[in-house]
Chains A and B, each alone.
Chain A
């Protein structure tokens, strides 16, 4: 008798189920993805008993004919790809044709589907992989899949399921991920017959320019207003890779990665390249050991990303990891930089709080160009000449660093030596530490030590970037031997390292000889030092600079030089710190990543005083 046998299909499916369907949430994921791939615009997910008793996913997608429905329960039957060439450029969420048969083999499975032009739909009943009945049925256009008693025939697997609440939490997470990934689709989550989420479809989200708005609305309905207000848009493109979405402002952080959402071509994934890139992009704006909040969408040619590496497709691999990471770094940097500059310096005309000396500091001519006022001025001329436009041009009130050329008729806007724009005004100081101030957005509480640290840090960094890089020659040049991977990473960056003052030469094979170091690099174990350098090079990619290596040292030094928590400062000094802070590139955190300032908008104060209900719009 042969020892080796071909397993019957049901067993094969049950084995596949072990990989694909781990728990109710994974079944929900597979079904929801099918609905998305089926062009649905409304998807409803119903759950009972944490998904163990019932999962029902209903969509209004294109549905299936009787033959298709019968085929889809066969293994490796799919409409999503046709030949092996398609595997390299998968644009649908699913492609293996494994999910439905796998799920069907471990549950009581019912499928109802009707194509929109068919007069009647089809209903399949499958129990534990065995087809029980196929009949005609009346139903709405689209597909409904019902899974009851998941793992009923696999008691071992069933035993490993957690409590209803835990399983429900996982289902919830999957649902959340997909609703964020597809704002264009309307989503409903019903749990134990109660509607938990009912998110309207926003078909406009498919247009790239409307996407951020739709995403914001979606996040608002899932997380509430407070989070949305703390997000800034990201949009960046390089070498055919586009990254867009929303990320938390500098200063917003979480203790874990649970609110880092990333989507590659609409597929929710965990990607090291994206996470590391983002954390690097925040850099000192994020406290060490904390994680940012993000909703990032990466669009990349499907051929440049491999989704076929993880059974549940939770991970993807990029053909050019470094490129993606670079894009994320750059995108985050830009997004955070623009935001911080307009945040503190700009004078929004729609200030909810009248700044005490705002009117006195501005010339009347330029004082009140509310949108309504400036509109007629710009309207008549189809192309107003710069000279004509200047007197009342809103340009002075736009971002100072925006691309618009500043008007030549500067005298109108700000006579030199007059009062500075009333960015921030000191009211007093608490405990010789917290500066209480107001600016156009409301109340600001500043930690004087952290703020001064940030100011000094940026000054020193700037000075450092201007000075020529120094390189102290070593008495005893040292050879270091690196792993092949590290060696090739370093080899590509030799010129950069030379530039920052590290005298390093290729000594053949995997050896390098180091004969000079920048003076601020202390002579710890050189091997270790080079390893650190490699890590930095890997993390920062092309953005590597000698300032980076010196950062920690500088942060430590400025910490010593900055005003201390208990130093008594005069109002002028406080004001000066705040003014300087405004000019910082990243005013929101100190070099160690602690926040420098807390902000209370009038809206928030209203909430606290009970003038406005939590979370409700005005």
Chain B
């Protein structure tokens, strides 16, 4: 096989696939990227067996063929080349010769036949939505996924397609983020997908603000086709907890907050809430919010904010990271916090179908 390519374009493709390659792979071929050169195009692919990414790259095909080359090494070599015109030739023994200007590299690959095949999604259902919707759905919920490897169903985002709505939910058992979108889908399209956290991260890397994405899925596999670039993944096999029951149906107070001002004040206050004491207190009094943190032996902080509040005095403790997480992933200027009392969950909302339930933290009297 033989091809010419532009350094930058090829590098783009390599970048998309190389993050999938496992750092310590037990099967050597999984450290490699598959390069397929056909008359109709050149494709790069990498997989860690849970996840596979395949993307097209622009190149001039001189001779068809396929091989696998060490992904990380190939990436570094191409990145460091001085000239943008690159030629690559691979012989029968899977030794690739890369030439560009005065540079000359020979790298040993493995036969293409050893590389895992892409899964065929049999009887897949599929639907197509705007990439920016999926991107927003993931952004607004991904941070709430559980990072601990205890309850694996929580290490995932639940995407539900039902009644012309896409719902994205994530929770780690202490807070829950939910974002919802109206879609115009062919009648009867519905499904539930539990996307593993690594897949979520990879999709977030590949997805753009423009264009469409076609999501095809079966019982246990999914494929995101983002206008050529495809990501295949396993789905988490499990039952997601019934999250609807934890969303408070009604709350007593609704407080409007300026997101920017509020999150900066919170961030400052939380400087004195450390790893061992991850708590800040929110005290709502008439037209006033006071955020305090206190670290024994270190000191304390207090931030005062003028707000528009007419309700009953409430004092409630939250883990500041949980609140900052949601603030950082929203773009709206105004957010609403709904509260009932210091023992009940708080709910952050915006002027869109989104909510973030967060459980309070209590200070026990020793």
Contact = CB atoms under 8 A, between A and B. Distances in A.
Interface of A: 460, 462-464, 466-476, 498-499, 501, 516, 519-520, 522-526, 528-529, 550, 554, 557
Given A470-B364, A471-B362, A473-B362, A463 B276 contact: yes
Nearest to A501: B364
Contact of B278 (A460, A499, A519, A528): A519
Interface in B272-305: 275-279, 295-298
A499 B362 CA distance: 11
B366 interface: yes
Nearest to A498: B364
B150 A475 contact: no
Interface string B344-366: 01000000000001011111111
A96 B148 CA distance: 57
Contacts of B151: 523, 525
Q: Which 4 A-B pairs have the closest CB atoms?
A: A524-B150, A473-B359, A467-B296, A525-B150
28 contacts: A460-B276, A462-B297, A463-B298, A464-B276, A467-B295, A467-B296, A468-B363, A468-B364, A468-B366, A469-B363, A469-B364, A470-B361, A470-B362, A470-B364, A471-B364, A472-B359, A472-B361, A473-B174, A474-B174, A475-B357, A498-B364, A501-B364, A516-B362, A522-B148, A523-B173, A523-B174, A529-B150, A550-B276
B193 interface: no
A352 B277 CA distance: 47
A468 B366 CA distance: 6
A476 B277 contact: no
B275 A520 contact: yes
Contacts of A462: 297
B241 interface: yes
Given A464-B276, A468-B363, A470-B278, A476 B343 contact: no
Interface in B145-173: 146, 148-151, 154, 171-173
B319 A472 contact: yes
A203 B343 CA distance: 68
B359 to A, nearest CB: 4
A466 B297 contact: yes
B361 A523 contact: no
A474 B171 CA distance: 11
A462 B276 CA distance: 12
Q: Which of B174, B241, B357 has the largest count of A CB atoms less than 10 A from its CB?
A: B174
Given A466-B297, A468-B364, A470-B364, A475 B345 contact: yes
B176 interface: yes
Given A470-B364, A474-B359, A475-B173, 18 more contacts: A468-B364, A468-B366, A470-B362, A470-B363, A472-B359, A472-B361, A473-B343, A473-B359, A475-B176, A476-B173, A499-B364, A519-B279, A520-B276, A522-B150, A523-B151, A523-B172, A525-B150, A528-B150
Nearest to B276: A464
Interface in B215-262: 241, 246
Contact of B277 (A467, A526, A529, A557): A467
Nearest to B241: A476
A473 B317 CA distance: 10
Nearest to A474: B173
Q: Which of A462, A466, A475, A524 has the largest count of B CB atoms less than 10 A from its CB?
A: A475
A475 B171 contact: yes
B7 interface: no
A468 B359 CA distance: 18
B185 to A, nearest CB: 30
B140 interface: no
A519 B343 CA distance: 16
Contacts, number: 93
A483 to B, nearest CB: 20
A166 B253 CA distance: 80
Contacts of B317: 470
B175 interface: yes
A379 to B, nearest CB: 47
Contacts of B277: 467, 470
A520 B277 CA distance: 9
Interface string B303-330: 0000000000000010100000000000
Interface in B57-106: none
B365 A468 contact: yes
A524 B275 CA distance: 18
Contacts of B278: 470, 519
A473 B359 CA distance: 5
A516 B362 CA distance: 9
A132 B241 CA distance: 82
Nearest to B343: A473
Interface string B131-151: 000000000000000101111
Q: Which of B146, B150, B295 has the largest count of A CB atoms less than 10 A from its CB?
A: B150
Contact of A524 (B148, B241, B345, B363): B148
A516 B360 CA distance: 10
A524 B277 CA distance: 20
A467 B148 contact: no
B364 A467 contact: no
B365 to A, nearest CB: 7
Nearest to B245: A476
Interface in B170-221: 171-176
A523 B150 contact: yes
A523 B296 contact: no
Contacts of A470: 277-279, 317, 361-364
A99 B241 CA distance: 65
Nearest to B152: A525
B19 to A, nearest CB: 26
Contacts of A526: 150
Contact of A471 (B146, B154, B298, B361): B361
Contacts of A468: 363-366
Contacts of A522: 148, 150
A76 to B, nearest CB: 58
B362 A519 contact: no
Contacts of B176: 475
B146 A523 contact: yes
A550 B360 CA distance: 21
Nearest to B317: A470
Contacts of B148: 522-524
A466 B360 contact: no
Contacts of A474: 173-174, 359
Contacts of A467: 276-277, 295-296
Nearest to A515: B359
Nearest to A523: B173
A476 B364 contact: no
